[in-house]
Each structure stands twice: as structure tokens, then as C-alpha cells.
């Protein structure tokens, strides 16, 4: 029997936490399951004055993102009440969230993507578009959107 693999993109929001709970519920019914919590940091934004401050700005931003992203993932794992048959993993990537989620799910052959219906406020949804909607359009594996 092969392991059942679930990908849960997280951003620390309430809908993302409900997606973690739902993935744990689904996984607890499987003999062997693996849940990967994925956090995608945006690629560093280069400001017009970037050439004046140099590459240290990029390194500083990335260092802060790495530390905060990994701390969030560690906190979620610590709070998750995972059954012993479920393995929890974490992954931190950089880029455009929806694309990174779909690429990672495809590359690692995930059986299911479970994600919250939105992770940011309504204004951000209008300005940036919905990551969950883009994942629904791009993903090759099944997607479960949790409200």
C-alpha cells in the first residue's frame, strides 16, 4: 500500500488553520498518511533604490522571511494533534504562491491539496486575486477548499 500524501498551503490565517484540521481529519482515516505544510514567501521585491543599498537588502528580507516562515510552520506542527499514523512535514518556498503550490504538488506527486478559501482580507483578495481560485485552475491533483 502506498502512502497517502496531502499538501496543505498555510499562511497563518484562520481558514488555513481550518484546512490543517481538515487534512488531519482526512489523514487519520488512512493507514499511512503524510501531510506537508507549505508556506510560500513572495520573492523579494526590488525597490527603485535597490542599486543604492545593494544586495544586502535582498539577503536581509530573505533571512527575515525564512525565520518567520519556519517559525509559523513549527508553531502549526506543535499545535496539530496528529495521529501517530500521520507524518507531518514542512516546506518553505519563494515565489508566486499559486504557481509554487501547484508545481510542488505536481513534483512531489501529492494526492490532494487542502487549503483555506482565503488567507488575506477582502481588499487583498480584490487586488491580488484569490490564491485558492488560481490553485483550482492550475492544479493537476484534486483540491479541497475549506471554508
Q: Per residue in 10-35, pLDDT tens?
A: 998 999 999 999 999 999 878 889 99
pLDDT classification of 54: cutoffs 50, 70, 90? low
Q: Is the pLDDT of residue 62 over 60?
A: yes
Round to whole Å and give the CA distance between 52 and 64. Answer: 21
User: Sign of dihedral through CA atoms 56, 61, 65, 68?
Assistant: positive
Query: Is residue 28 exposed (0-12), middle (13-18) or buried (19+ Cβ within 10 Å)?
Result: middle
pLDDT of 57 > 70? The answer is no
Report how far residue 124's alpha carbon sits from residue 56's, in angstroms, rounded to the nearest whole number.
29
Residue 8 has which C-alpha cell? 496543505
pLDDT digits (tens, 9 = 90+) for 75-132: 999 998 888 889 999 999 999 999 999 999 999 999 999 999 876 544 444 444 589 9
Angstrom distance (rounded) from CA 139 to CA 96 = 14
pTM comes to: 0.85
Q: How far apart are CA 33 and CA 87, in angstroms?
A: 6
CA angle 89, 93, 98 (to 5 degrees): 100
Amino acid at each position: 500500500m502506498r502512502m497517502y500524501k496531502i499538501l496543505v498551503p498555510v499562511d497563518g490565517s484562520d481558514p488555513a488553520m481550518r484546512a490543517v484540521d481538515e487534512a488531519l481529519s482526512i489523514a487519520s482515516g488512512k493507514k499511512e498518511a503524510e501531510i506537508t505544510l507549505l508556506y510560500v514567501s513572495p520573492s523579494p521585491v526590488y525597490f527603485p533604490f535597490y542599486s543604492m543599498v545593494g544586495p544586502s537588502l535582498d539577503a536581509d528580507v530573505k533571512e527575515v522571511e525564512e525565520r518567520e516562515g519556519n517559525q509559523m510552520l513549527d508553531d502549526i506542527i506543535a499545535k496539530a494533534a496528529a495521529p501517530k499514523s500521520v507524518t507531518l512535514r514542512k516546506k518553505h518556498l519563494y515565489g508566486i504562491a499559486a504557481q509554487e503550490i501547484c508545481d510542488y504538488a505536481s513534483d512531489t506527486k501529492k494526492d490532494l491539496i487542502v487549503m483555506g478559501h482565503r488567507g488575506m482580507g477582502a481588499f487583498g483578495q480584490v487586488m491580488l486575486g484569490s490564491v485558492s481560485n488560481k490553485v483550482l485552475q492550475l492544479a493537476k491533483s484534486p483540491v479541497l477548499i475549506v471554508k
